[in-house]
Amino acid sequence: MSSPNIDQVDVRGPRFAAWVTTAVIIAVLAVSAVSSVAAAVLLGLQGVVFAIGAVGGPRAHPYGRIFATFVAPRRGPVTEKEPVAPLKFAQFVGFLFAVVGTIAFAVGLDIVGLVATAFALVAAFLNAAFGICLGCQLYPLVARLRRVPSTA
């Protein structure tokens, strides 16, 4: 159980964002069959969205703002919350995949772009469809590795 002082958000917001992200990434893959440059631009825009979520969290995330403004008021009360820190980390991981994919598409390394985009798609879809946030699952491990042992 989480401590009450930890910043938390309605789980439906990040899942909504994951559905939108899934749609954008599918569009990137479809566009990449026609134009690597267009795929780079679209994936780059998604990368900006990931960066906003990584820095500002779910409440600042563009798709999260859409959820809060247009979707949440039409839904019932919040029944489940999740902590913000793992969600921010997950957005950072998405940002890394988007950067790799964008650069790869931009310089003509389409296979690398497709693989990076496919990884982002798998992660977004798992969260959207099944509520499995891969970045959130990795977060405790990374947080543990970041801790500096005390030298007392």
In a domain, 23, yes or no: yes
In a domain, 56, yes or no: yes
Rg (CA), the chain: 16
In a domain, 3, yes or no: no
pLDDT tens figures, 87-102: 999 999 999 999 999 9
pLDDT tens figures, 9-53: 999 999 999 999 999 999 999 999 999 999 999 999 999 999 999
Domain with 82 in it: 8-146
pTM: 0.89
In a domain, 151, yes or no: no
Give how many domains the chain has, as a whole number: 1
In a domain, 1, yes or no: no
For residues 14 and 8, give the distance between their C-alpha atoms in angstroms, rounded to a whole number.
11
In a domain, 50, yes or no: yes
DSSP 8-state class, residue 148: P
DSSP 8-state class, residue 73: G
User: At 10, which helix (H) or strand (E)?
Assistant: strand 8-10
Mapping DSSP onto H, E and C, the string for 90-102 reads HHHHHHHHHHHHH
In a domain, 2, yes or no: no
